[in-house]
Chains A and B, each alone.
Chain A
Amino acid sequence: MPADAVDRGGDLSRRDGTHLLVRAGDHACALPLAQVRRVVRALTVHPLPGAAGELEGLAEFGGEPLPVLNLARLVNAPQGANPAYPVTVVVWVGPAEAREMIGLSADAALEVVHVPADSIVAGDGGFLQGEAPVGGEVVRVLNLDALGREA
């Protein structure tokens, strides 16, 4: 195998582990970057009466209705300090054949990080893929595919 093929394979592997780190309450969460469509200033959300606490409501994004979930509630994070620059992270969730776009409300977008697969300590096998050390902090690594398919 040519050396450059090995390098490309390494790049691909690295890309697979690339995540967007966001703050959600007291937790830092890593979202697979390939599934992040955009990070925007917190969208105006219209609540849906009777919805579970995780569902903040509906927003408008790019002319389309967008369900917005509260990331801190999804990961059971204790409330953090009042966010100075809250964001909505627009992501794709669910399996490739049935993916959907949703918003995740978070307290802040922090940075893009690489989370090696072998550094992740397994989580619940669903939305919480596991935990991994990043920059001296343990972050929750999330599986957005599971969010779309969990019953």
Chain B
Amino acid sequence: MSVPHARGFLLLRRAGGVWGIASSDVEGMAVEDGGYRISAGGEAFFADSIVGVVADLRVHPPAPVLRRFWPETVAGLAVYERTPVVMVDPRYPPAILKLDD
């Protein structure tokens, strides 16, 4: 899959949470080890499952309190179908999403 100019966000599930990546950053996706290998922003990610692609999300800046208690860099926060979503900046992927080659 290659969607360099796609609008919206790819939502995936990992470690019980829902994570979002801008579709424009997604370079590829393949089934791997019972989950999905996702290439985005030059990095490889692992997802337990794919939630879907949504055209639009209201993305909030990450709260300062969040940054204080969670060392990961995130692009923002959103809600999809009453579930919180952590928006990922592929340049700074959270450790739980990283797929080491």
A interface list, Cβ under 8 A from B: 46-52, 54-55, 57-60, 63-67, 69, 93-94, 98, 100, 102, 147-148, 150-151
Interface presence of B34 (CB below 8 A): no
Interface centre among A55, A65, A94 (most CB of B within 10 A): A65
User: Is B68 a contact of A50 with CB atoms below 8 Å?
Assistant: no
B interface: dominant SS: mixed
| Size class of the contact patch on chain B | 20 to 34
Interface centre among B72, B83, B84 (most CB of A within 10 A): B84
Q: Which of B8-63 contact A (CB under 8 A)?
A: 15-18, 60, 63
User: Is A102 a contact of B96 with CB atoms below 8 Å?
Assistant: no
Q: Which of B60, B68, B83, B96 contacts A64 (CB 8 A)?
A: B60
User: Is B84 a contact of A147 with CB atoms below 8 Å?
Assistant: no
Contacts of A54 in B (CB 8 A): 69
